[in-house]
Structure 1
């Protein structure tokens, strides 16, 4: 438990620092968007490529990917029950389903690497390769299906996945590992330097992007569905892990990946595809704050149950 808290506290501090810098307007909103884009398109792919290329895998734990994808589909389907909420609008349902299936990659990478080093980093990268395409497909489908506006932007999920920099990085790193290709020393050092900035900048940008005013607007609906997401996805992941026989370090990474809050990019996609953008912002803010409490609770419960 103390090891997990030691890994979580730096995440909290960096997210809080990002929120403080955003509040003080040290960097303009456009600047934060640029930083987040840089981390997502350049720095994080570099981190993933190097982590997977150097991963000490004799047999890759593909059950990890299967467990997380199954959990995402299950909680996404559960989100359809939001239609039963009194007075709820269709775009709100789309935003809730999106919140249920998305995850904050930067938080998971930070905790996974802090607890388990390079192998933890590589396993979270495998989680990313599984969860990112699943989240994108389910989010686009849910938002467009529940949008009330007929003129919402049309997205091609297949083309978006092909162009996704994190998935491209996973493919490159995986191929390097599969064929035992050693990255030249100077190139490896350069990629390492790029990757070192990914998590810090990503967490700072995540903190800056949280609309704390949204907490004041959040009501019972936001709180309830935030708790469903924060507890539901890891519980489902644990359940599927027991069914598929996933255990040990891979199970610990599955719990970490499923326990982190929803992605801050949820707001942008909800706005573009006719979802309820204010509700998406509320869910992001609520989950970012609550996850700092729920993640240790889930981790401690798993330790007490002897799961890992």
Structure 2
């Protein structure tokens, strides 16, 4: 229980920042229109540069990169198969199922990166970046496929999905940092410290933006579907990750960060995709909100049980 308390204590400041973001928007201390550029700056500049800077100077040789990636991907694919098989028993309509699915597999990377940094420092951030490079492309493809099949809007072509992944700033940041690392260049001179300064802004601004996007009214009206996706995302998928970690020989800090990655609440980007492609956006907003609230106790519990 002492380990559970330590993890809970380390994560509490992260969720206090999220709460602050919610209060700032609720009280209109920051105008609503200001949050869009904050999110855009964080997603397109600060967050990718934080990943680039950490990966460029990390020691990757000692990390079980491939086994970790296999454990993460296998857990998500297994959860996808289970959700598709159970869809008729869960009995949601098509758009509602897309929101259940997104809520079960799409991780909030802002919360995750802050948690990895708070709990495990720079090694945790490096391992988390590996998870991003592995999971983000897969999850984007799966969510678009499910929304195209079950959503009420227009589908998206394979070409558009592929271009979206290639242009994803997080993927670009991870790829650039890995390239600098593997080439032996490391953190580039002169411009490297600028990357670090800008990257340091990612976590506080990103967490405030997460809080500003919470919708408690949507969470209250979401119903049973939000509980289904929350149970899957916060407990089932982390458990599957630990199971596949054992299969592929992942252990130590690498396993712990893998479990952390797959125990994160749903990302705000799921709401945007739901609106664009005919998902149940209201249910998605409620799922994101409830999972973010539940994540403070559920992440320590997942790490204690599976990490």
Q: Which residue of 1 is the match for residue 115 of structure 2?
A: 111
Q: Which residue of 2 is the match for residue 36 of structure 1?
A: 39
Q: Which residue of 1 is the match for residue 181 of structure 2?
A: 177
Find 1:95's aligned residue among 66, 74, 99. Answer: 99
1:85 and 2:90 correspond: yes
2:15 and 2:128 mapped to 1: Cα distance? 19
Find 1:143's aligned residue among 125, 147, 150. Answer: 147
Q: CA deviation at 1:84?
A: 2.0
Q: Which residue of 2 is the match for residue 22 of structure 1?
A: 25
1:45 and 2:48 correspond: yes
Find 1:300's aligned residue among 287, 291, 304. Answer: 304
User: Aligned residues, how many?
Assistant: 301
TM-score of the superposed pair, with normalisation by structure 1: 0.93
1:222 and 1:256 mapped to 2: Cα distance? 21
Q: Could you give the per-residue CA deviations for residues 212-254 of structure 1, whole angstroms, max 9, x where no partner exists?
A: 1112212122123211221111011101101101001100100
Instruction: Kindly indicate whether the alpha-carbon contact (under 8 Å) linking 2:144 and 2:156 is maintained by their aligned counterparts in 1.
Output: no
1:285 and 2:289 correspond: yes
* RMSD, aligned CA: 1.5
1:300 and 1:64 mapped to 2: Cα distance? 19
Q: CA deviation at 1:4?
A: 1.4
Q: CA deviation at 1:152?
A: 5.3
Q: Which residue of 2 is the match for residue 8 of structure 1?
A: 11
2:195 and 2:224 mapped to 1: Cα distance? 45
Instruction: Kindly indicate whether the alpha-carbon contact (under 8 Å) linking 1:103 and 1:260 is maintained by their aligned counterparts in 2.
Output: yes
2:16 and 2:170 mapped to 1: Cα distance? 25
Q: CA deviation at 1:107?
A: 1.1
Q: Which 10-residue stretch deviates more, 291-300 or 229-238?
A: 291-300
Aligned to 2:58, what secondary structure does the other structure show?
Answer: coil
Instruction: Kindly indicate whether the alpha-carbon contact (under 8 Å) linking 1:76 and 1:98 is maintained by their aligned counterparts in 2.
Output: no
Find 1:201's aligned residue among 198, 202, 205. Answer: 205
1:142 and 1:46 mapped to 2: Cα distance? 31
Instruction: Kindly indicate whether the alpha-carbon contact (under 8 Å) linking 1:3 and 1:115 is maintained by their aligned counterparts in 2.
Output: no
2:228 and 2:61 mapped to 1: Cα distance? 42
Q: CA deviation at 1:154?
A: 5.4
Instruction: Kindly indicate whether the alpha-carbon contact (under 8 Å) linking 2:63 and 2:254 is maintained by their aligned counterparts in 1.
Output: no
Instruction: Kindly indicate whether the alpha-carbon contact (under 8 Å) linking 1:153 and 1:272 is maintained by their aligned counterparts in 2.
Output: no
Instruction: Kindly indicate whether the alpha-carbon contact (under 8 Å) linking 2:260 and 2:302 is maintained by their aligned counterparts in 1.
Output: no
Q: Which residue of 1 is the match for residue 217 of structure 2?
A: 213
1:141 and 1:27 mapped to 2: Cα distance? 37
2:88 and 2:293 mapped to 1: Cα distance? 26
1:157 and 2:161 correspond: yes
Q: CA deviation at 1:7?
A: 2.0
1:153 and 1:72 mapped to 2: Cα distance? 21
Aligned to 1:181, what secondary structure does the other structure show?
Answer: coil
Instruction: Kindly indicate whether the alpha-carbon contact (under 8 Å) linking 1:108 and 1:257 is maintained by their aligned counterparts in 2.
Output: yes
